[in-house]
Amino acid sequence: MENHKKNTAFIKKTAASLGFDHCGMARAVRLDEDARRLEQWLHKGMHGTMQYMENYFDLRVDPTKLVPGAKSVITLFKNYYPSQQQEPGTPGISKYAYGKDYHEVIREKLRLLLQQIKESVGEVNGRGFVDSAPVLERSWAQRSGLGWVGKNGNLINKQSGSFYFIATLITDLELEYDDPYAKDFCGTCTKCIDACPTEAILPGKVVDGSKCISYFTIELKEMLLPGDMKGKFDNWLFGCDTCQDVCPWNRFSQPHRETAFTPIPEILNLSAAGWESMTEENFKQIFAHSPLKRTKFQGIQRNLKFLQQGK
């Protein structure tokens, strides 16, 4: 038990030194309740064309399927709230995409964390995940005592809001576990539900992914966006932060200190005309290490046209 305590303290200290803002531990168990919820959500088609959500169901709900002999799930938060905001009137880009692609940044930090755990503890089997594998990050964050899942589906931390990337490290190392976060501080507030431009947030903490602006502007690969959504995108070109921007808990958000997330200048001040006149070559050059490359140049141009048609 003394070892568990020592190893837990070491991991939390190392995580902080690598730039993670919060770190919590939960026992690796099968998430039966989450499995039921996910099954219902998929059955209702709320994932739209995101077929990958249907894949690897067992892996999503059972950490031992991802790491044999898994005993602990370590959840880490990395703040991305920017100190600078976009110029008013410019096509909206979700704050998480202002700087360098978070997958690249956090993956490297997870690699270093696992490496330092092995150097300190000895032979440890583990795998790090950041939004790139079938892991129910928010469930593990709540089980690790880091916050509660809000009505908009985001994990909310009482001290610092929801503008965080969530990373997960599953390991076969036994640790001291944090108490799950038992309270829900959303109360009777419905600001996120009321503000959602496409009414994608439903009662009961259910988000219809197939109606979310982030889904249309990032995930949907078809070159034609649905006509009934015209004029409903609130000038969002890539992603959407509306439900987080109106959340009262985000008044506690503090600017991040991660240089890799420094905003790309074009994101902050490029007008619709500027985006329109951009060539594919320029786009690839400017956004080579940005999350915007996920939607590709054609996707951005499609979104831009759709915004203009809706005006």
Q: Are strands 148-149 and 72-79 parallel, antiparallel or unpaired?
A: unpaired
Active site residue 131: yes
Q: Are strands 155-156 and 148-149 parallel, antiparallel or unpaired?
A: antiparallel
- Is the separation of the CB atoms in 154 and 137 below 8 Å? no
CA 59 to centroid of chain Cα atoms: 19
Q: Is 12 exposed, middle or buried (0-12, 13-18, 19+ CB in 10 A)?
A: buried
Residue tagged active-site, from 131, 172, 184, 234 = 131
* Beta strand spans in 157-306 (E): 164-171, 201-202, 206-207, 236-238
- Residue 288: which residues within 8 A CB-CB, separation 6 or more? none
Residues in the chain: 311
- Give the max Cα distance, the chain: 64
| Amino acid making up residue 34 | D
Contacts 24+ apart (CB under 8 A), 35-39: 35/60, 35/61, 38/136
Catalytic site positions: 131
